[in-house]
Amino acid sequence: MTRQISFWYDQLDPAPARRPALEGSREADVCIVGGGYTGLWTAYSLLAADPSLEVVILEAEVTGFGASGRNGGWVEGKLAGDRGHWAALGGHAGALAMERAIQRAVDEIGQVTEKEGIDCAFRKGGTLIVAQTPLQLARIEAEVEADRLWGLTAADSVVLDATAAAARVNVDGVLGARYSPHCARVQPAALAVGLGAAVERAGATIYEGTRVTAVEPGVARTEVAGRGAGEVRARFIVRATEAYTGSIAGQDRVMIPLTSCMIATEVLSGETWANIGWAEAETMLDGARKYVYIQRTGDGRIAIGGRGIPYRYGSRTDAETPPPAEVVRALRERLIALFPVLSDVTVAGAWRGVLGAPRQWAPAVGLDKKTGIAWGGGYVGEGVAATQLAGKTLADLITGRDTELTRLPWVGPFTGSWPPEPLRYAAVRGVNAMMDAADRREWRTDETSLVGRVAHLISGR
Ligand SMILES: Cc1cc2nc3c(=O)[nH]c(=O)nc-3n(C[C@H](O)[C@H](O)[C@H](O)COP(=O)(O)OP(=O)(O)OC[C@H]3O[C@@H](n4cnc5c(N)ncnc54)[C@H](O)[C@@H]3O)c2cc1C
């Protein structure tokens, strides 16, 4: 039985047919664990580089079941992790190369969706962070100034004044905004499912309902409900399981799952859109510490997400039920605070998903040449574009090519691991509570909260 994934997934017409599970065992050149964007882009890039490769994807549920079928649809030319992290790994030049590579990924995703006929409402309208308080505006201005000092230009980010910001999107009481062109929006489940079809056309085999229990050099051990154990033997095995990485033996301290919730409105009337503006369909963040992320969808709704559900003891990832009513209410209220014209708006769908956060709070990709085991992930909430770059980089590593991509600073192991329970639970919940307290104080006083700064330092964000 397919469990609830998201409003995005339910919108797919026709609904994707479920693929067969692996029967018994088999061999392949490359075995990819996880049928989300990371696994799919890796397969796509591998087969583009060498169509003769036998590539197998093992997916525990269905393609796009994880964050890839549930996210906010921001194809963002930006990675999680602060610039200090990237500079420590690759110096200033390496960190800048990383930034330019992720910006290019946005356009490359657009090109692939066009080439493969993936109808996922891809539209590159850029991205806005809107300020509704003087403190939020000051933070945005500081961010753009930091961009300049770092070596980025006005072609990468600018501060818009209140009039220019409102001319783009008519946010209530907007004082200004940061605009960057490096972002597109998509219907995320349509991208995942379309990519699945594209990698099959290129020659990959996807097995669904096939859970990997252990990854060892040369073998991925599988479990299929009602059929028992099997395995895929392959020279290379790619771990592309993001927030669910703890489901593989021995991997439970690599990544913690963090839950983010989303709602989508009904289709808004032409009159409402005339009031809101938003003609370019930029993706949008509000200026709070625990921000909300928003997109104007291809079919004329607004999708907004952000309110997390607290971390669950033991890194549990059961995310198949709708979010609690109070979370849906909070998201709707935040939307109305941005756009009062939506005071009567109906929520057409609500869902949640889990994203993966490694201790270093920044993604990594790599291949252990001795064991043939490769990995890609740790995108925190910024993985839609990053997975494409990860897939291309993994393909270069696996096919043994020394390229500009394999020299980027994110190539290597994750540094650090999460503490075991119950420490992990206390730490993650503690930082979450600090962020909430900081936001409450900053909305009230319009002054930077010390607690918020400390929470950012502890979390590494
Ligand atoms: C609500 C939400 C909103 C987000 N919004 C954005 C956004 O707007 N922009 C952005 O850039 N990023 C966003 N993200 C993050 C982004 O969606 C992810 O970084 C990205 O989708 C990760 O892709 P992935 O393939 O690595 O992981 P996933 O999509 O999670 O895929 C992992 C797959 O592995 C499968 N799997 C897990 N364990 C096993 C196993 N043992 N055996 C076999 N298969 C297994 C899972 O079923 C799943 O299909 C968001 C995430 C969430 C949850």
Cα–Cα distance for residue pair 273/344, rounded to 1 Å: 14
Report the SS3 class of residue 434.
Answer: helix
d(CA 141, CA 159): 6
416 alpha carbon to ligand 1 midpoint, in Å? 21
Q: In the predicted model, is pLDDT for residue 382 greater than 80?
A: yes
Enumerate the H helices of 116-211 as residue ranges: 134-150, 162-168, 188-201
User: Which phi and psi (to 5°) does residue 178 adopt?
Assistant: -100, 130
Rounded average pLDDT over 170-185: 98
Distances (CA, A) of 253 to 39, 60, 224, 248, 340: 21, 20, 25, 11, 43
Picking from 23, 30, 81, the residue whose alpha carbon sits closest to that of residue 56 is: 30
Atom of ligand 1 nearest to the CA of 213: 41
Identity at 460, one-letter amino acid code: G
Kindly state the percentage of the chain with pLDDT values over 90: 82
> pLDDT band at 368, cuts 50/70/90?
very high
Does residue 252 line the site of ligand 1, with CB under 6 A?
no
Q: How far is the CA of 355 from the centre of ligand 1 (A)?
A: 6
Between 437 and 158, whose confidence is greater? 158
Asked if 123 and 298 touch (Cβ cutoff 8 Å), the reply is yes
Tens of pLDDT along 9-43? Answer: 999 999 999 999 999 999 999 999 999 999 999 99
- For ligand 1, mutation pick of 7, 31, 68 (most atoms within 8 Å of CB): 68
Helices (H), 277-370: 325-338
Is any ligand 1 atom within 6 A of the Cβ of residue 375?
Answer: no
Residue 417 — pLDDT band, cuts 50, 70, 90? confident
> What type of residue sits at position 344?
D
Greater confidence (213 vs 1) lies with: 213
CA distance from start to end of the chain: 38
Instruction: Please state, in angstroms and rounded to a whole number, the distance separating the CA atoms of residues 435 and 458.
Output: 11
Residue 460 has pLDDT above 50, yes or no: no
pLDDT at 313 over 80: no
pLDDT-derived band at 2, boundaries 50, 70, 90: very low
Distance (Å, rounded) from C-alpha 448 to C-alpha 422? 31
Residue nearest ligand 1's atom 41 by CA: 212
Helices 423-445 + 450-459 axis angle, to 10: 150
* Mean pLDDT of the region 119-137: 97
Residues whose CB falls within 8 Å of the CB of residue 50, separated by 6 or more in sequence, listed in order: 399
Highest-confidence segment of 110-124, 276-290, 313-327: 110-124
Q: Is the predicted pLDDT of residue 435 greater than 60, yes or no?
A: yes
- What rounded mean pLDDT belongs to the chain? 92
Local confidence band at 291 (pLDDT 50, 70, 90 cut-offs): confident
Distance CA 416, CA 116 (A): 39
Q: What is the pLDDT of residues 205-225, one digit of tens each?
A: 999 999 999 999 999 999 999
**pLDDT score, position 461:** 43
Give backbone dihedrals phi and psi of 251, rounded to 5 degrees, phi first.
-110, 15
Q: Which of 98-107, 281-290, 413-422 ranks highest by mean pLDDT?
A: 98-107
Mean per-residue pLDDT for 78-86?
A: 94
| Top-confidence residue, 440 or 164 | 164
281 lines ligand 1 (CB under 6 A): no
Q: Is the pLDDT of residue 438 over 70?
A: no
Q: Is the CB–ligand 1 distance for residue 68 below 6 Å?
A: yes
Q: Is the CB of 244 under 6 A from ligand 1?
A: yes
Read off the pLDDT of residues 44-59 as tens digits, 9 standing for 90 and up: 999 999 999 999 999 9
What is the C-alpha separation between 206 and 240, in angstroms, rounded? 14
Q: Confirm if 263 and 350 have CB atoms less than 8 A apart.
A: yes
Provide, rounded to the nearest whole percent, the portion of the chain with pLDDT above 70. Answer: 88
Read out DSSP for 46-67? HHHH-TT--EEEE-SS-TT-SG
Q: Is 191 in the pocket of ligand 1 (CB under 6 A)?
A: no
**pLDDT value at 369 more than 70:** yes
Answer for the pair 263, 87: CB distance below 8 angstroms, yes or no: no
- Which pLDDT band holds residue 282 (cuts at 50, 70, 90)? very high
pLDDT band at 288 (very low <50, low <70, confident <90, very high): confident
Q: Specify whether the CB–CB gap between 388 and 39 falls below 8 A.
A: no
- Cβ pair 332, 236 in contact under 8 A: no
Alpha carbon distance 261, 310 (integer Å): 11
Q: pLDDT-derived band of residue 429, with 50, 70 and 90 as boundaries?
A: confident
Q: pLDDT at residue 109 above 80?
A: yes
pLDDT of 419 reads: 75
Which secondary structure element, helix H or strand E, spans residue 376, and what is its range?
A: strand 373-377
pTM of the model: 0.94
Out of 151-160, 184-193, 277-286, 441-450, least confident range: 441-450
Q: What is the mean pLDDT of residues 163-191?
A: 98
Give the pLDDT mean for 405-409: 98
How does residue 420 score in pLDDT terms, banded at 50, 70 and 90?
Answer: confident
For residue 177, the cross-strand partners are 130, 160
Using CA atoms, how far residue 229 sits from 26, 30, 214, 336, 437, in Å, is 12, 20, 11, 51, 48
Residue from 124, 384, 388, 414 to probe ligand 1 pocket by mutation (most atoms less than 8 Å from CB): 384
Tell the residue nearest (CA) to atom 32 of ligand 1. Answer: 241
Judge whether 2 and 12 are in contact, CB under 8 Å.
no
